Amino acid sequence: MVWGALEKDGAPRPKRQRFAWAPFEAGLEYGAGPPVFQARQRVIYGDTDQMGVVYYANYLRYFEHARNELFRAHGGTYRAFEAQGLMLPVVEAGVSYRAPARYDDLLLIDTEISAASRVRLTFVYEVRRDGEQAVLCAGHTVHACLTTAGKPARLPDYVVKLVAHREER
């Protein structure tokens, strides 16, 4: 996250920036979604382990859910990206676990694209329980842009430019 002002307790809080994901469908305008997208995920019983907390690997599924919802919030879908002959497989993932989530918790997953290069996108995530400020889990994923044949491909210029415009603000 991009860090801005401090919360009342002195902890840094993410600075919300204007950010727009390029539309994938004709007729949609840039700026259709919020700067940091927030997905919602209810913890189901099957997501928990014997200790009654969310199994650690499930946070990566929550990140994927949030990424897909971010695409939708900005006028497109991952399916539409694939229709362009491109894929974004995960090539790196990092997760920091701070406190457990439990069965039936409603989780809020803040997601944004923090960086882009010609062939990579980096997403960052923070997971909180609805109604609470404490971060339960934070992480990132790095994605390589590949063709459907598995060969490296450049990200479309409009994606790189949009991320650059977000970083300039």
List residues with catalytic annotation.
49
Instruction: Specify the DSSP element, H or E, that contains 69.
Output: helix 58-73
Token pair belonging to 3 = 């860090």
Backbone region of residue 150 per phi and psi (left: phi > 0; alpha: psi in -120 to 50; beta: other values): left
Question: Residues with Cβ < 8 Å from 144, sequence gap 6 or more?
Answer: 88, 89, 91, 119, 120, 152
Rg of the chain in Å (alpha carbons): 16
**Cβ proximity of 154 and 88 under 8 Å:** no
CA distance between the termini of the chain = 14
Distance CA 46, CA 65 (A): 16
3 state SS of 118: coil
